[in-house]
Structure 1
Amino acid sequence: MGYNIGVRLIEDFLARSNVGRCNDFRETADVISKLGFKMYLGITPVVSNWSPAGDEFSLLIENNPLTDFVELPPGHSQLNFSNLLCGVIKGALEMIQMDVDVKFVQDILKGDNITEIRLKFLRRLEDAIPVGED
């Protein structure tokens, strides 16, 4: 969910933010948290829990605006209500040639103290020319 939103949102983000190409995954994390979330949701998640290799980090969200006035119904405790955010991030980063794994680790709706989204850099995507076009 949200993947197609991210694919389209990245164009708007790049046009409005005037951000150049990020040099590494740490810089990408800062741009996502300080500009992307602030621009579209009005929040600034904390970037933390970096892996020793520097290829994985967490976004910690204290007040997720997507969960205001939401309660998970009985029998649906495994539902990731804000999973849309994971798809948006994945779709947007793929458009700038970054393949990432994005998943929820903690969710306030499930009784956790904070919402945590984990991002892991998998590989840099290569530009591909469609078959038959030179």
Structure 2
Amino acid sequence: MSKKSGDDIWKGSVEKINSELFTLTYGSLVSQLCRDFQNNYQEVNIQLDKMGYNIGLRLIEEFLAKTGIRRCSSFKETADIISKLGFKLFLNFQPTVENWSNDNKICSLIIPEPNPLTEFVDLPPTAKDLWYSQILCGVLRGALQMVQLDCDVYFVKDVLKGDDKTEMKLKLNKILKDEVPV
């Protein structure tokens, strides 16, 4: 799979920040977006996704440099590496990959509890349209695009909304061709 495991990289010389500081800072960001968009939660979701997408475009370079990983041969292998290395490296948890479609183009990432982004969060009943951790969808979408995978990434369940688990769907739309500049 890779030269190092997610645990090895995490224990190594990776710069770390306090998880509570990260959680509270992210919470402040979401709160500010809710105020800026006057609790239009669909617009807040769009903004979080855009932010995440831009983070993902840049984060993939750091991920590839720190892991020394080779190019994946399939979407299934990519999802496995995202789960075992990507989340571990940057957020210190490992979602499980489940519910593969017959054609191996759709899967679920089940985020373990407690989700570090939602550790101190209670959503008000009026925020039923808010996907609080939507930034993760954007990060994955941006990172996957940089490795030539056009994917849809979206939440289908969230413990904050009363669901039994937090579940994201990854759907491979197409493999992008390597573009050679003119």
Aligned equivalents of 1:129, 1:24: Cα separation in 2: 22
1:65 is aligned to 2:116:
yes
Aligned equivalents of 1:28, 1:116: Cα separation in 2: 18
Q: How many residues end up aligned between the 2 structures?
A: 131
The equivalent residue for 1:114 is 165
The equivalent residue for 2:177 is 126
The equivalent residue for 1:82 is 133
Aligned pairs for 1:1-134 within 5 A: 1=49, 2-63=52-113, 64-129=115-180, 134=182
After superposition, give the CA deviation of every residue in 1:19-46 in whole Å (9 maximum; x if it has no partner): 1000011110110000000001110111
SS in 1 for 2:125: coil
SS in 2 for 1:80: coil
Q: CA contact under 8 A between 2:94 and 2:112: conserved in structure 1?
A: no
- Gaps of at least 5 residues in structure 1 are none
Instruction: Give the ranges of 4+ consecutive aligned residues of structure 1 lying more than 6 Å apart after TM superposition.
Output: none
- Gaps of at least 5 residues in structure 2 are 1-48
After superposition, give the CA deviation of every residue in 1:14-69 in whole Å (9 maximum; x if it has no partner): 00011100001111011000000000111011100000111110000122110010
SS in 2 for 1:121: strand
What letter is aligned with 1:90? R
Bigger share in strand: 1
What letter is aligned with 1:127? D
SS in 2 for 1:75: helix
Shift of residue 129 of structure 1?
Answer: 4.8
After superposition, give the CA deviation of every residue in 1:59-91 in whole Å (9 maximum; x if it has no partner): 001221100101112311110000000000000
Q: Percent identity?
A: 55
Q: CA contact under 8 A between 2:93 and 2:112: conserved in structure 1?
A: no
Shift of residue 128 of structure 1?
Answer: 3.1
